[in-house]
Chains A and B, each alone.
Chain A
Amino acid sequence: MFFNEFKYNMRAIIRDRNFIFWLIIFPMVLGTLFKAAFSDIYDKDIKFSAIPTAVVAEKDDKIFEEVIKAVSTGDDKLLKVTFADKDEAEELLKNGKVSGIITKGDSLALTVGANGINETILKSFTDSYLTQEKIITDAAKNDPAKLPELIKLMQEDTKALKKIRVTDGECDPLITYFFNLLAMVAACSSVTGLSVVTRNQADQSPLGARKGCSPTPKLISTLAVLCCCWAVSMVCTTFSVTFLAFVLKINFGSRLGLVYLSTMLGGVMGTSMGFMIGSLVKGSFEKKNAVAMVVSLGGNFLSGLMIADVKPDVMEKAPIVNELNPAAVVCDALYYLNLDKDYDRFIKKLITMLIMTVVFTAVGFIFTRRKKYASL
């Protein structure tokens, strides 16, 4: 009887358009929109464009040529070099085709057309070359094998800022939007949880009434549908993580397995929340669905899905709301997982999810245990 209920409710749920929209299509669309919206920021943050530079070699200098070759080749090249004579170089600078002209005569000279990051980096590069020319010349003469390493160090010096990790995790602030998205998928699993009630209560649907006439005990029937909804929500959250991680290439850090685990548990919690809402809210499925959506998306709003600044405010002014908001719990679990070196705060959030799941499920069962109805 349990398996029969499980099997056919599973089929019914996965063929339900409402469910497909909220748990599969909506997160995919939102994830893609997030990715598109943040792509510029990511590109600026991650990609470094080589600086277009004109090089005028008035005198042959093997070492200088070697240095220029080293900084203008490879994946992480600093300069995009155009060798030219003085007039051509000036023309390129005038037309904005290059950011500066490096002239190598008896000494090294830099000509720039404006002030900016590229010009500053070129200045830093030429200054480094001049201060380290002696070292480079000696190295080229005495130990040519060390020359590439020396040039690499020189390149490093041109960077004004250096990112220092304070933890082992990924602390990209934009990733929290995707954590929130996963929290939303988990919270929206409440839609499936509602069906546990509507499909088993005689006063909720003809199907519920019909099942109430059968010899299958209500506890078995309800448990089977609930398990089925849990399984479906776990699959959906897994699908969302996979889509974000492998299709949209969102970097969830090195603990992807635990990201899957936490979102699956979040999905189970969301389903149980739907079960509880369905059992507490009296009235039609549409009414229950509206309440579940308000609670789910409201929770997501408070956890920063729509406006990131909301969450710090909630944490500061009403920390208990953040602690009890299912969406925030999922989001925080993912955040701590990626931010912290240890697992203390992450495990605390997982335990919170488990407790909430147990409480939601227990309330759901208590309020659906009635055997007879006053009216149908």
Chain B
Amino acid sequence: MAENIVKIKSLVKRYGELIALDHLDLEIKQGEVFGLLGPNGSGKTTTINCLLSLLAYDKGSIQIFGKEMSPTAYDIKKDIGVIMQNVAVFDELNVFENIDYFCGLYITDKAERKKCVEEAIQFVGLEDFRKYRPKKLSGGLLRRLNIACGIAHKPKLIILDEPTVAVDPQSRNKILEGIEELNRNGATIIYTSHYMEEVEQICTRIAIMDKGRKIAEGTKEELKAMTKNTETIKVGLHELPDEVMKEISALPHVYSTDHTDSTLTVACSGGRHNLIRVLEVLQKHELHIGKVTTEQPTLNDVFLEITGKALRDKED
């Protein structure tokens, strides 16, 4: 069994009356890509800042690599790579200089550092931009620079706090592929995001947070298994007589039906041939069928079911 790289026990952080972290427990094992998923303000970044000993907390304990984490735990810090939510680079230094600077905080040997910097530049695909200053880089390239600065020293544990905010799809894919590659190369990853698709794509284990509490934890399959919903069928229909609706609602495994905006939505829990059964009913009544889709439950459904609200904020 893989050893715990990170162990957070009963962590409490208060900002006055507001409880930012409410007895949070987390255990992250070596080799995992661990996702912290939650809406804005759920406590993800606070957790990371406490984990890195930047932020004082009121109660609890944090262990990394089996040792107590503290601001002066330099032997722990040297094996951690951090990619902050806000891009943290010198505006006055170019791409190469920035990566070399951050790498120099960890590696003093010049030759070794140069090799690491070159590898980091290649890894994030900034070879053509090494002389560019951050202000001349696009949002996506800037995020890649931020990542290069965090991973150049080849850390064992990499913490990425919302690294894809305001990034174009191409750069986002590049970043996600890079994270998976870092994990394949042996790094343990902690990845925070409010983009459930990203977390589903790359994380091997996920903790869902809300209001400073961990509300669910497990693999994506385990999390989805927590929901009643296993399949959502959507059929384009202009008209739907009441008796047909009643017949569909009475089908096995169907627990919810709705017809709005010319779309029939059927939520099923379990069962293997739900779509066929729904289509058979519609065919029997000779109704004109439009577009037909089926959707598997998402982490948003999990979040919705547990908290009663959608995971993603409207502005996202």
Contact = CB atoms under 8 A, between A and B. Distances in A.
Contacts of A215: 74-75, 77-78, 105-106
Contact of B92 (A16, A213, A375): A16
A213 B56 contact: no
Interface string A252-294: 0000000000000000000000000000000000000000000
B25 interface: no
Contacts of A12: 90-93
A267 to B, nearest CB: 20
B97 interface: yes
Interface stretch (B35-43, B79-87, B242-250): B79-87
Interface residues of A, number: 29
B88 A207 contact: yes
B90 A8 contact: yes
B56 A209 contact: no
A216 interface: yes
Contacts of A1: 104-105, 108
Contacts of B208: none
Interface centre among A1, A8, A16 (most CB of B within 10 A): A8
A206 B54 contact: no
B54 A8 contact: no
Interface stretch (A149-157, A172-180, A332-340, A366-374): A366-374
A97 interface: no
Given A215-B78, A217-B74, A374 B56 contact: yes
Given A213-B54, A215-B105, A371 B72 contact: yes
A209 B88 contact: yes
A160 interface: no
Interface in B96-117: 97, 100-102, 104-106, 108
B101 A214 contact: no
Nearest to B75: A215
A263 B275 CA distance: 84
A16 B54 CA distance: 27
B89 interface: yes
B166 interface: no
B105 A216 contact: yes
A214 B106 contact: yes
A214 B77 contact: yes
